[in-house]
A and B are shown apart, each in its own frame.
Chain A
Amino acid sequence: MSTISRRSVLQASLGLAAAAGLSRPYIANAAAKTASVWWTQGFIPEEDAGFEKMVADYQKVSGNRIDYSILPFVALEQKMVSALQTENTPDLIAYDGIQTTMVMSAYANKLVDVSDIVAPHEKDIAKVALQSMKLYNNVEKRRAYYAVPFKTASVPFHVWGSLVEKAGYKMSDCPDTWVERWNWFKPMQAKLRADGMRQIYSIGLQMTTNGPSDGNNLFHYWLLAMGGGNIVTPDGHVHLEDPKVKNAVIETVRWICDTYKGGYTPPGCISWNDADDNNGFHSKLFLMDLDGTISTELAMFHRPEDFNNCVTLGLPKGPDGKPSPAMVGAIGGMIPTAAKNIDVAKDFMRYVIEPKVNSDFLKAGLGRWAPIYPQQVKDDSFWLHNENPQLARHLTPYVEETLLGASYPDYMVYNPGYADVEAQQVWGQTYASVYKDGMTPEKAVDKAFKQVEQLLARYPTTA
C-alpha cells in the first residue's frame, strides 16, 4: 500500500503547476474567437433577456463566443474605471450611465476608433446619436467615432393623470408651453391636500447633488427650453458670455429655486438619490416630474391600474414658441485599446448595430430605450402605434421626443470638462447658493460660470 509522504505531496503540487503552465497556450488559443463583454443590467428583466437572446443569435451566425457579464450600472462604472486605469480591460463595454468614462477615455486615446463600423450606417443614424459618439482625442488631435451607438433615451414628463383629475383638472387642458405647463400643476397640491392627501406635492424637482444624472437632466432641459442650448458648442468651446445663454441659466435657477421656496416640491428633493424620485413618484408623493426614459412607467407594467393612470408627455414649446429641444443620451459599445480581441468585439458591435437586430433587441426591452434609426420608428408600428394601447400611450410621446424632434447631445461629448461640471454637480450647488446661502440667482450663476470655465479649460480641444 503506498503511503502519502511530504515528498510525494510536493512532487504532485509541482506537477500540477507545470501542467497548468503548459496547458495555457491551448486555453489562450481557444480564446482567440471569444470576446469578453461587460453589459449594463436593465431596469426590467425583459431588457436582460433581450440582450441574452441577441448574444445567442450572434454566436449562432458568427461561430464566435461572447463571454459576457451583466452588471448593475454602479458596479459596472467602478469596474470600468478600474479596468481602464490598469489596462486590464474586457473587449467591449456597454455602459448605460453617464458617459464620463467614455469621453475621458477617448480624450486620452484609450478607445479604439470604430468609425469603420459606424460609417456604413451613418446616413441612417440619428444625428444626435452620431454626435454623442464623435469624441475628441487629445493625443491625435481629432474627432472620430469612439463608440458604436445602439440605443437612445430622453427625459419625458411623467404625470399621475388620476391625481390631476382628482384635483379637478383635465389633462387635455395641460398647456403646451414650457413655463406654463410647469406652473399649471402648482395649484393642484392645495386642492389635493384639502381632500386629505396631506403629503402631496405638485412637482418632483430633482434639485439634488446626489445620484448621477437626475439633477443635471432637470437643469439641461430647462436650459434648452429657455434658449441656452449653445452653452457649449461642438468645437468644445464654452459660451458663457452669450447673453442668451446667461439669461437662460439665470431664469432656470430662478424658477427652480422659487418653486422650491414656494413649497411646491418635497423639501427632501435636494438630497434625493437616484432611486428617490422614482420612489416618490410611485408612492404618489408628487403629481409630476421630468425623469429619464419611461422606466417610471415600465416599473408598473405588471400593475395595470397604476400603469394606466400614469400619463407620459413629450416636450412642449419653449417661451420663444419653438418646440423645446430634448437632450438625448445615446449609449454606445466602446472597445478599449487594451482589449485582446478587438476584431471579435468589433464584429459583435457590427451585428448589434444592424437595424433588424437592433430593433428586435430594443423591442424585447419593451421600448425603455429608443432606437438610433429615426426611419425605423416610422416604419415599425411598435414604436409609434403599438398594438398595446396602454403601452402606446407611454411609448409614442417618448419616442417622438427622443428621435423625431429637435435635440442636443450631452455637452460632455463636445468637451470632457463638462463631464466634470456634471460630476461636481455645479448646477445643484448653484441652487443651494440661492436657497441655502441667500445669493441672488445672478450672483449664484456668476459663481457657477467661473467654476465651469475652470473645468472646461483643463480639456482644450482643437477640433
Chain B
Amino acid sequence: MDGSAAQVVDVGARFDVRPRIRSALWLGLNRADAIWALAFLVPYIVTFVLFVIYPLLYGLWMGSKPSLYTDLFSDPIYQDTAINTLIYVLVGVNLRMVMALGLSGFFMRKSWWTKPLLILFILPWAVPALPTFLSIHWMLNGNWGLLNNLIWDVTGWNAPSWLDERSYALTSDIVAYIWKWLPFWTVIMLAGRMAIPRELYEAADVDGATGSRRFWHVTFPLMANLYLVCTLLGMLFTMGDFTTVYFVSGGGPANSTQVLATLGVRDAFVMSEPRLGVAAVMSAIPVLVPLVVLLMRRVRAAAVER
C-alpha cells in the first residue's frame, strides 16, 4: 500500500456502508426486487385503507357525537333490543357450537353414507341467506305457513303463530340462525377432530377409555382451544347479524325482537338518521372490545403452546 489516491478510493469502496444500509432498509432485497415488492403491495395497502380503514374511521366519526347516545337510550325499545341481542348471541352461538361439536363426531364415522350426508348437511350454509330467511318467515306464518298446515294435517292441532309472540319469534330467529350457520362450524370442528393424532385414541383404547371418557379425556382437551376461538369468533359475527332477524321475525311483533343490527338499520335508513344507526351498533362496543381482546389472547396462547 503506497497511500495513492486509487488505493484510498479502493479502501473507501470496501468500507462504504451505504449499500448495506440501503439493503437493510429494503429488508435485504436488492433494489429491483424491492420495487417489485412495493408495486405489488401498494394496491393491497390502498384497497385496505380505502375499504377497511377509511370506512372504520368514518363510522367511528359518525357515531362520535354524545347527543346521539342520549337519543338512542331514550328510544323506548333500546333496552329490550340490547337484551334481545345478548340472548340471541349467548343462546344462539353456544347452542350452535355445542351442536357443531357433537355433529363433528358423528361425521367422523367411516360409513359409506357419511360423505353424501355431509354434503346435504352443508346445503343450508351454501344457499343464499335472503331468500332462505324469507322462505322461513313464510313457512312460520300462523295461517298459510307450511309448518302449521303440516302440523294441522298430521295431528289436527292448531299450532301457535310462531312470529306473533316475542318468545316464539326470538326462538324462531335463533333456530333459523343455527340452521343456517351450523354446517359451517361443524366442518370447522370436524377439521379440528381430524387433526387429532390417531395414536392418542389407540393409547386411550389400550387404557380402556371408550365413549364419553374418550371424548372428555382425549377429544375435548385437544379441541378446547379451537372450540373457544370459534365461540368467540361466532359471538363477534353474531353481534352484527342483521339478515336473520330482519327477514324472519322482522323485529316484531311490536318491535319486541329487534336486535342492535336491525335497530341500527331502522335508524339509519327508515328514520333517515345514519349517524343514529351507527351509534346503535357502536353501543355494542363495550361488549365487542373485551371479546376481541379475549380472542387475541387465546389465539396468541394457542400459538405459544404450539
Partners in one complex: yes
Residues of A within 8 A of B (CB): 6, 10, 77-78, 81-82, 85, 98, 100-101, 104-105, 199, 208-212, 266-268, 270-271, 273, 276, 279-280, 283, 285, 419-420, 423-425, 428-429, 431-432, 436, 451, 454, 458
Listed stretches B135-143, B178-186, B280-288; interface member: B135-143
Whether B272 pairs with A104 at a CB distance below 8 angstroms is yes
Measured in the bound complex, the distance between the Cα atoms of B255 and A209 in whole Å is 6
- Minimum CB–CB distance from A11 to chain B (whole Å) comes to 12
Whether B252 pairs with A81 at a CB distance below 8 angstroms is no
Given the known inter-chain contacts A6-B36, A266-B142, A280-B143, please indicate yes or no for A271 contacting B250, CB distance below 8 A: yes
Given the known inter-chain contacts A209-B255, A273-B250, A429-B254, please indicate yes or no for A268 contacting B271, CB distance below 8 A: no
Given contacts A85-B275, A270-B164, A432-B253, 10 further A-B contacts (CB under 8 A): A77-B270, A211-B250, A268-B142, A271-B164, A271-B169, A271-B250, A419-B271, A428-B254, A429-B76, A432-B254
- Minimum CB–CB distance from A422 to chain B (whole Å) comes to 9
- Minimum CB–CB distance from B64 to chain A (whole Å) comes to 15
Mark contacts of B63-77 with chain A using CB atoms, 8 A cut-off: 1 yes-contact digit, 0 otherwise: 000000001001111
- Please, which residues of chain A bring their CB within 8 A of the CB of B254? 209, 270, 425, 428-429, 431-432, 436
Given the known inter-chain contacts A10-B39, A428-B254, A436-B254, please indicate yes or no for A268 contacting B141, CB distance below 8 A: yes
Whether A100 pairs with B274 at a CB distance below 8 angstroms is no
The contact of A279 among B76, B144, B269, B275, by CB within 8 Å, is B144
- Please, which residues of chain B bring their CB within 8 A of the CB of A211? 250
- Please, which residues of chain A bring their CB within 8 A of the CB of B138? 279
Measured in the bound complex, the distance between the Cα atoms of B254 and A330 in whole Å is 28
Chain A: CB-nearest residue to B163: A271
- Please, which residues of chain B bring their CB within 8 A of the CB of A210? 250-252
Measured in the bound complex, the distance between the Cα atoms of B36 and A409 in whole Å is 64
Whether A81 pairs with B266 at a CB distance below 8 angstroms is no
Does B23 interact with chain A (Cβ within 8 Å)? no
- Please, which residues of chain A bring their CB within 8 A of the CB of B74? 454
- Minimum CB–CB distance from A430 to chain B (whole Å) comes to 9
19 A-B interface contacts by CB (under 8 A): A81-B272, A100-B272, A104-B273, A208-B250, A208-B252, A209-B252, A266-B143, A268-B141, A268-B142, A268-B143, A271-B249, A271-B252, A273-B250, A420-B271, A425-B254, A428-B254, A431-B254, A432-B254, A458-B71
Given the known inter-chain contacts A209-B252, A273-B137, A428-B254, please indicate yes or no for A85 contacting B144, CB distance below 8 A: no
Which of B142, B253, B266, B272 neighbours the largest number of chain A CB atoms within 10 Å of its CB? B272
Measured in the bound complex, the distance between the Cα atoms of B170 and A226 in whole Å is 36
Classify chain B: how many residues form its interface, as a range: 35 or more
- Please, which residues of chain A bring their CB within 8 A of the CB of B256? 432
Chain B: CB-nearest residue to A285: B143
Lowest 5 A-B CB distances belong to which pairs?
A: A432-B254, A210-B250, A271-B252, A423-B271, A101-B272
Does B210 interact with chain A (Cβ within 8 Å)? no
Q: In B155-186, which residues have CB < 8 Å from any A CB?
A: 161, 163-164, 169
Does B5 interact with chain A (Cβ within 8 Å)? no
The contact of B268 among A81, A105, A208, A212, by CB within 8 Å, is A81
Measured in the bound complex, the distance between the Cα atoms of B255 and A285 in whole Å is 24
- Please, which residues of chain B bring their CB within 8 A of the CB of A268? 141-143, 161, 163-164
Measured in the bound complex, the distance between the Cα atoms of B32 and A81 in whole Å is 47
Measured in the bound complex, the distance between the Cα atoms of B271 and A268 in whole Å is 25
- Minimum CB–CB distance from B303 to chain A (whole Å) comes to 36
Which of B76, B137, B138, B252 neighbours the largest number of chain A CB atoms within 10 Å of its CB? B252
Whether B253 pairs with A209 at a CB distance below 8 angstroms is yes
- Please, which residues of chain A bring their CB within 8 A of the CB of B266? 423
- Please, which residues of chain B bring their CB within 8 A of the CB of A425? 254-255
- Minimum CB–CB distance from A41 to chain B (whole Å) comes to 17
Chain B: CB-nearest residue to A6: B36
A-B contacts at CB below 8 angstroms, number: 98
- Please, which residues of chain A bring their CB within 8 A of the CB of B272? 81, 100-101, 104-105, 419, 423
Whether B164 pairs with A100 at a CB distance below 8 angstroms is no
Chain A: CB-nearest residue to B268: A81
Whether B252 pairs with A283 at a CB distance below 8 angstroms is no
- Please, which residues of chain A bring their CB within 8 A of the CB of B169? 271
Given the known inter-chain contacts A268-B163, A273-B137, A451-B76, please indicate yes or no for A199 contacting B255, CB distance below 8 A: no
Measured in the bound complex, the distance between the Cα atoms of B74 and A380 in whole Å is 52
Chain B: CB-nearest residue to A447: B76
- Please, which residues of chain A bring their CB within 8 A of the CB of B164? 267-268, 270-271
Chain B: CB-nearest residue to A436: B254
Measured in the bound complex, the distance between the Cα atoms of B255 and A166 in whole Å is 38
Whether A209 pairs with B144 at a CB distance below 8 angstroms is no
- Please, which residues of chain B bring their CB within 8 A of the CB of A6? 32, 36
- Minimum CB–CB distance from A4 to chain B (whole Å) comes to 14
- Please, which residues of chain A bring their CB within 8 A of the CB of B62? 85
Q: In B76-92, which residues have CB < 8 Å from any A CB?
A: 76-77
- Please, which residues of chain A bring their CB within 8 A of the CB of B249? 271
Whether B144 pairs with A81 at a CB distance below 8 angstroms is no
Measured in the bound complex, the distance between the Cα atoms of B35 and A185 in whole Å is 80
- Please, which residues of chain B bring their CB within 8 A of the CB of A285? 143-144
Measured in the bound complex, the distance between the Cα atoms of B246 and A273 in whole Å is 10
- Minimum CB–CB distance from B273 to chain A (whole Å) comes to 7
- Minimum CB–CB distance from B274 to chain A (whole Å) comes to 5
Measured in the bound complex, the distance between the Cα atoms of B78 and A451 in whole Å is 14
- Minimum CB–CB distance from A124 to chain B (whole Å) comes to 31
Whether A267 pairs with B32 at a CB distance below 8 angstroms is no
- Please, which residues of chain B bring their CB within 8 A of the CB of A199? 143-144
- Minimum CB–CB distance from B158 to chain A (whole Å) comes to 10
Measured in the bound complex, the distance between the Cα atoms of B32 and A428 in whole Å is 68
The contact of B271 among A276, A424, A454, by CB within 8 Å, is A424
- Minimum CB–CB distance from B223 to chain A (whole Å) comes to 40
- Minimum CB–CB distance from B91 to chain A (whole Å) comes to 21
- Minimum CB–CB distance from B169 to chain A (whole Å) comes to 7
Chain B: CB-nearest residue to A426: B76
Whether B269 pairs with A78 at a CB distance below 8 angstroms is yes
Which of B144, B254, B256 neighbours the largest number of chain A CB atoms within 10 Å of its CB? B254
Measured in the bound complex, the distance between the Cα atoms of B142 and A431 in whole Å is 20
Mark contacts of B238-281 with chain A using CB atoms, 8 A cut-off: 1 yes-contact digit, 0 otherwise: 00000000000111111110000000001011111111000000
Which of B32, B144, B169, B253 neighbours the largest number of chain A CB atoms within 10 Å of its CB? B253
Whether B269 pairs with A267 at a CB distance below 8 angstroms is no
- Minimum CB–CB distance from B196 to chain A (whole Å) comes to 46
Whether A82 pairs with B143 at a CB distance below 8 angstroms is no
- Minimum CB–CB distance from B23 to chain A (whole Å) comes to 19
- Please, which residues of chain B bring their CB within 8 A of the CB of A270? 164, 252-254
Given the known inter-chain contacts A267-B142, A268-B164, please indicate yes or no for A77 contacting B269, CB distance below 8 A: yes
Mark contacts of B24-44 with chain A using CB atoms, 8 A cut-off: 1 yes-contact digit, 0 otherwise: 000000001001100100000
